[in-house]
């Protein structure tokens, strides 16, 4: 009877992979799911406001579930895996040896207070532990609440984000690495770059976890 109870408890409390629900490895992110992620070519996928933008992979399957888990479903423990995936991609770039100041895309304080965390703060902190870069989530701030971007056109996104960011202190060490989870039209990155430029900061690179497979796709 004791053995049966023990096996039952082991089954209940054994950690299952969040993505495939298997518990063989007793981990929240099993090696099979992790290794299924395919990187995009090791080059800038676009250029926004004269700043290169790098992206790890496409927003689909495991990555889509990972980003949504960290961002919306309070799976903060998965942030370390998102950071690790970004780090592994980043190590293949020649620009990795520069000493960046990492700036996560900021969240408006009321939304952060309601959610109780900014998902990109978590990811960037873990990324900085791996790279040794400086983490800075204090200088660039979001000055107002904005509507959800995913239902908006490119022009509507630009209007929605106009003057939504500011800098509290322009003493930011360059080069800058702006990090976000997803980039679709690039409107968010563009607005942050403009604010940094206005304050005399020009040595900027952008790095995101994912982009849509097709440029016309919007992220839900």
What pLDDT, on a 0 to 100 scale, did the predictor assign at position 220? 43
pLDDT, position 72: 92
Q: Could you tell me if residue 218 is inside a domain?
A: no
Q: Which residue(s) pair with 48 in the sheet?
A: 51
Q: Are 115 and 146 in contact (CB under 8 A)?
A: no
pLDDT tens for 2-49 read: 444 344 334 444 689 999 998 788 899 999 999 999 999 999 999 999
Whether residue 32 is found in the same domain as residue 134:
no
CA within 13 Å, CB half, 60? 11
100 with 175: CB under 8 angstroms? yes
CATH number at residue 46: 3.40.50
**Both 89 and 186 in a single domain?**
yes
Question: CB-based contacts of 87: which residues, under 8 Å, 6+ apart?
Answer: 127, 130, 131
Q: What is the pLDDT of residue 109?
A: 63
pLDDT at 164: 75
Query: What confidence score (pLDDT) does residue 8 get?
Result: 36
Which residues does the chain have with pLDDT short of 50? Answer: 1-13, 218, 220
Please state, in angstroms and rounded to a whole number, the distance separating the CA atoms of residues 136 and 140.
8
In this prediction, residue 182 carries a pLDDT of 93
Biggest CA–CA distance in the chain, Å, is: 71
Q: Which two tokens stand for residue 184?
A: 């679709």
Co-location of 101 and 173 in the same domain: yes
**pLDDT value at residue 39:** 97
Collapsed DSSP state (helix, strand, coil) of residue 69: helix
Residues 29 and 44 in one domain: no
Domain that holds residue 178: 37-211
Residue-wise burial string across 4-23, b where 16 or more C-beta atoms lie within 10 A, e elsewhere? eeeeeeeeeeeebbbbeeee
Whether residue 216 is contained in a domain is answered as no
Entry pTM? 0.86
pLDDT given for residue 216 in this prediction: 58
Q: 42 and 86 share a domain? A: yes
Number of domains in the chain: 2
């Amino acid at each position: 009877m004791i053995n049966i109870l023990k096996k039952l408890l082991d089954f209940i409390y054994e950690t299952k992979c969040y993505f495939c629900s298997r518990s063989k490895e007793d981990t929240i992110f099993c090696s099979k799911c992790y290794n299924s992620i395919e990187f995009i070519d090791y080059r800038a996928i676009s250029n926004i406001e004269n700043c290169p933008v790098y992206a790890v992979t496409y927003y689909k399957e495991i990555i889509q579930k990972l980003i949504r888990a960290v961002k919306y479903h309070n799976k903060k423990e998965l942030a370390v895996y998102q950071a690790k995936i970004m780090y592994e991609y980043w190590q293949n770039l020649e620009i990795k040896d520069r000493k960046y100041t990492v700036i996560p895309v900021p969240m408006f304080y009321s939304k952060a207070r309601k959610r109780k965390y900014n998902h990109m703060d978590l990811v960037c902190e873990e990324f900085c532990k791996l790279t040794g870069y400086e983490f800075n989530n204090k200088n660039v701030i979001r000055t107002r609440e904005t509507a959800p971007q995913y239902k908006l056109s490119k022009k509507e996104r630009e209007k929605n984000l106009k003057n939504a960011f500011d800098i509290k202190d322009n003493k930011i060490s360059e080069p800058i690495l702006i990090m976000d989870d997803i980039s679709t039209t690039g409107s968010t990155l563009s607005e942050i770059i403009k604010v940094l430029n206005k304050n005399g900061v020009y040595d900027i690179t952008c790095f995101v976890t994912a982009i849509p497979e097709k440029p016309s796709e919007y992220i839900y």
